[in-house]
Structure 1
Amino acid sequence: MDFLNLAKEYESSYLEDLNTLVSIHSIRDLSTKTNSAPFGQGPRQALDAFLEMGKRDGFDTKDIDGYAGVISYGEQKDTVGILGHLDIVPIGEDWSKEPLKVTLDDGYVFGRGVMDDKGPTLVAYYALKLLKDHRVPLKKRVMLIAGCDEESGMECIQYYKKHAEIPQTGFVPDADFPVIYGEKGGAHVTLSSKDDTVIKKMKAGTRPNIVIGKADCIVPSITDQQKEQFEFYLKTNDLKGSIQEVEEGIQLHIDGIFSHAAWPYNGVNAALHLLNFVGCAFNDTLSSDLYSLLKDWQGKPEHLNIDGEYMGFLTMSTGIVDIENDQTSVLIDIRYPNDIDANTIVERFEDACKALKSNIEVHLDSDMVPMFVDPSSPLVTELMNVYQKYTKDMFHGPKTIGGGTYARMFDNFVSFGPELPFEEKSTEQFVGGPHQRDEGAKLANLIQAIAIYADAILALAG
């Protein structure tokens, strides 16, 4: 079957359904939590909308207590699964498009979630719909599972695993093509201290998995010389910032660049720059010590600069800084290859802290071990064949990434698209990636992904 031309026929309805999902502010908000909405009303509304699409098109649907939903095709015992998510990260600032609306401009679609992960999840849905509409026979039941808490710890799929059927194999449409057979481990480490600091208050960052793109801190006062030093610091580091008098003292502000924590080198951490400046200009020992620990995204000060055999470099991103009344807490997102483990990471942090003047304690808050599937397995080779069929890309092979997807939650699952490794931007507009402003994707690539996923489902379940 010519899946690509068939996929093009669904473009208008895909965009309409995508707008329905994007228009829902499906961020985790426990202040609106209920028994049927464990992550708040936004994720609940997105799940309801998605399941309603499945009912509309004649699929079997199941609500897993508001944690996730399942759209199924077929009644066979053997199963193939597709795992996507409907929750989003905070919208952030400086958008040039409406974030909660699909904007089609110059061949690109924009809106929070169009790439992470409402757009790709809906691509997978339309692939399944295409197969159903054209009565393509399958030998296995296909389960499209949509979770509601991927961005905040994957509690949704942890619950799902205890209460619902687990597919035997499958893929996750929440990353890059070709096939991702390995994902780095993910550890959240907190540094805490009760040491004195000149910083009266600093609340920076919203999520551990986002590089802090804007940050403020309040100090009691500032001299003219320190003001000049601040301006010099901004200029020498190509930053923008401001000094403002507020009720509590003097507020220092720095603009950085938001990015996904898996790629901290693509961002500029505004909070770390503030710690560096305050440490130097105010002779603040705690700020200087924190910056010395956190300044390098590869973790060189902690001797964590590991180049893994399969998964490449360990990465480290400071996600949340909370300082008030000499109570300091810093949350770090660490993505590590399968050559090291979380306990070793904590030990090396502890050793680095012992060499500092400040009394800084290290805590391991959470750990997700790396995901790894044999790159020569039938699952990987089947999906690679489908990818190459549509893209003619024989150069890029299976790979590993630093991001964490649902693939790590089930055995014999990999991540599979939809971002292309060789894509060049064809518009002069800024097109943001996941977790960035103006999040966008080329519409033609999403439509092509419908065809790729339809063929992939056929390869795994046909």
Structure 2
Amino acid sequence: MNFLEQVKQYEEQFLSDLKGLIAIPSLENFDTATEGAPFGVDVREALDYMLNLGREAGFEVIDYDGYAGAIVYGEGSESIGMLGHLDVVPFGEGWSKEATDMQIHDGYIFGRGVLDDKGPTMAAFYAMKLLKDNGTKLDKKLILILGTNEETGMRCMDYYKEHGEIPTAGFTPDADFPVIYGEKGHLGVVISSKEPTVIKSMKAGERPNIVIGKAAAELPKMSQEDIDLFKYYLKVNHLKGEIYHNDDSDTIEIEGKYFHAAMAYNGINAAVHVLNFVGATYDDKLAQQLSVLLDDWKGSGFGIDMEGGYMGFLTMNTGIVEVNNGETTVTIDIRYPNITDGDALIAKMKDALAASTVKIEMVSADDSVPLFVDPDSKLVKTLEQSYREYSGDYTTPNKTIGGGTYARKFDNFVAFGPEFPQHEETSFFVGGPHEKDEGVKIESLMKAVAIYAKAAQDLAK
């Protein structure tokens, strides 16, 4: 059965269904949380949307109290899982298109979630639909698990694991092709200080897992020399920024570049630049020390820079910076290789804070251990073969990543697509996950449907 040929007839309906899902701004919002909608009504609406598609297609659907949902095909004592998430990150600024109005341009679709992770989740659903429409008989049931809280803690999967069926094996369509058999550990750290600073107030960053793309800080009235130094700082660092004059203060604003924290090296952290400028210009000891600690995305400021054989180098992202009522708080996102562990990193960071020139304390640390599945396992080899058969790519190796996916929540799970390694040049900007103008090629998503159908069929035999 050639799934790649068959999937063409589904493209129009696929795009229509995805457009409806993208239109739902499924951001976590506890202000609207209720029973059955633990992460807010918009996320709940997205879950209902997918469950309704499942019902209409004739699948069994299960609602796990709004934390998660499941679309089920087939029977059997064992099951194969596909894990997708329906929540998205904040839209950010700088979009040339409406983030919730999916648009098509020159073979690409744009909108928040088309790549992370609504588009891939829809691809997994259509893979199940393709199998069902063909009357494919499987020895194991297929379960498409729909999460609602992946971007902000994965508590949805904790709830599902307590109440739902745990698949024997499976994958999440939330990364790259070929197969992602390992994910770096994920350490979230919050540091805080009550040391004096000239910064009157500051609130930069929306989520720890996003490089801060724009940051502003309220300062005392700036002298002409300070203003000139700010303009010079922007110029030598190839940045854009503004000064907003208030009655008794001035606010500086710097534009950086939003990016996923797992690849912080591709972003430009505007908040770190603000701290660096303030520290140098005003001889602000706290800002200076924070700049030393936070400047290097490899974590050398804390003495935690390292590189592992399988997973590469550690990455560190400054995700949120707040100055309020005399207290400065910084939230840090660290992705580390499996040559170390969270305890060792925390110890090194505490040593660096103890040796700093001002008093800064670690307030909290939350650790998620690395994921590693044998690259020669049946799961990895089966998925790899499905990819190679329909992509024609026999050279790109399987790999590990710094991103954290649902795969780390289950045994014998990996991340699998939907991004292909071959990226063509376009005359227009196509953003990636967590970026403005998030986009993906339609042909790539439809090819992913075929790959997922083949993989699910082979795993469920």
Other-structure match for 1:451:
450
Rounded to whole Å, the distance in 2 between the matches of 1:272 and 1:303 is: 18
In structure 1, the residue matched to 2:149 is: 149
Task: Look up the match of 1:431.
Answer: 430
Distance 1:188 1:155 in 2: 15
- Counterpart CA distance in 2 for 1:126 and 1:167 is 19
Match of 1:392 in 2: 392
Instruction: List per-residue Cα deviations over 1:243-297 (Å, max 9, x = no partner).
Output: 1112561100000000000000110000000000000001100000001000000
Q: Aligned with 2:4: secondary structure?
A: helix
Q: Distance in 1 between matches of 2:69 and 2:114?
A: 19
CA distance in 1, matches of 2:121, 2:416: 12
Q: Verify: 1:46 aligned to 2:46, yes or no.
A: yes
Query: Aligned to 1:291, what secondary structure does the other structure show?
Result: helix
Aligned amino acid, residue 136 of structure 2: V
**Per-residue deviation at 1:326?**
1.7
4+ runs deviating over 4 angstroms: none
Match of 2:329 in 1: 329
Distance 1:236 1:430 in 2: 25
- SS of 2:6's partner is helix
Residues 86-105 of structure 1, C-alpha deviations (whole Å, 9 max, x = no match): 00000111111111011011
Q: Distance in 1 between matches of 2:73 and 2:448?
A: 19
1:185, 1:246 → 2: CA distance? 44
- 1:56-455 pair list within 5 angstroms: 56-247=56-247, 249-425=249-425, 427-455=426-454
* 1:338, distance to aligned residue in structure 2 (A): 0.8
Q: Aligned partners of 2:14 and 2:246: how far apart in 1?
A: 48
Is the partner of 1:380 in helix, strand or coil? helix
Letter in 2 for 1:316: M
Aligned residue pair count: 461
Which deviates the most, 359-368 or 159-168? 359-368
Runs of 5+ consecutive residues of structure 2 not aligned to the other structure: none
Q: Is the 8 A contact 1:386 1:455 kept in 2?
A: yes
- 1:16-41 deviation per Cα after TM superposition (whole angstroms, max 9, x unaligned): 00011000000000000001100000
**2:287 partner amino acid:** S
Do the aligned partners of 1:187 and 1:364 also contact (CA within 8 Å) in 2?
Answer: no
Task: Give, as a single letter, the amino acid of the residue that structure 2 aligns with 1:440.
Answer: G
8 Å contact from structure 1 (residues 220, 248) kept in 2: yes
Residues 27-58 of structure 1, C-alpha deviations (whole Å, 9 max, x = no match) = 00000000110000011000000000000000
1:365 to partner: Cα distance: 2.9
Native 8 Å contact 1:62 1:71 kept in 2:
yes
Shift of 1:220: 1.5
CA contact 2:179–2:417 (8 Å) conserved in 1:
yes
| Cα distance in 2 between the residues matched to 1:139 and 1:459 | 10
- Structure 1: which 5+ runs fail to align? none
CA distance in 1, matches of 2:63, 2:264: 36
TM-score, normalised by the number of residues in structure 2: 0.99
Q: In structure 1, what is the Cα distance between the partners aligned to 2:359 and 2:137?
A: 64
**Is the 1:51–1:71 Cα contact (8 Å) retained in structure 2?**
yes
Question: Partners of 1:185 and 1:201 in 2: how far apart?
Answer: 33
Could you give the per-residue CA deviations for residues 75-121 of structure 1, whole angstroms, max 9, x where no partner exists?
21110000000000001111111110110110000000000000000
How big is each residue's C-alpha offset from its partner over 1:360-395, in whole Å with a ceiling of 9 and x where there is no partner? 001343111101100110000111111111112121
Letter in 2 for 1:437: K
TM-score (norm 1): 0.99
Q: Give, in whole Å, the separation in 2 of the partners of 1:46 and 1:246.
A: 42
Q: Give the stretch that moved more between structures: 143-152 or 239-248.
A: 239-248
Kept in 2, the 8 Å contact 1:37–1:66? The answer is yes
Residue deviations 1:49-69, cap 9 Å, x none?
Answer: 000000000000000000000
Contact 2:193 2:361 survives alignment (8 Å): yes
Mapped to 2, the partners of 1:247 and 1:313 lie a distance apart of 47
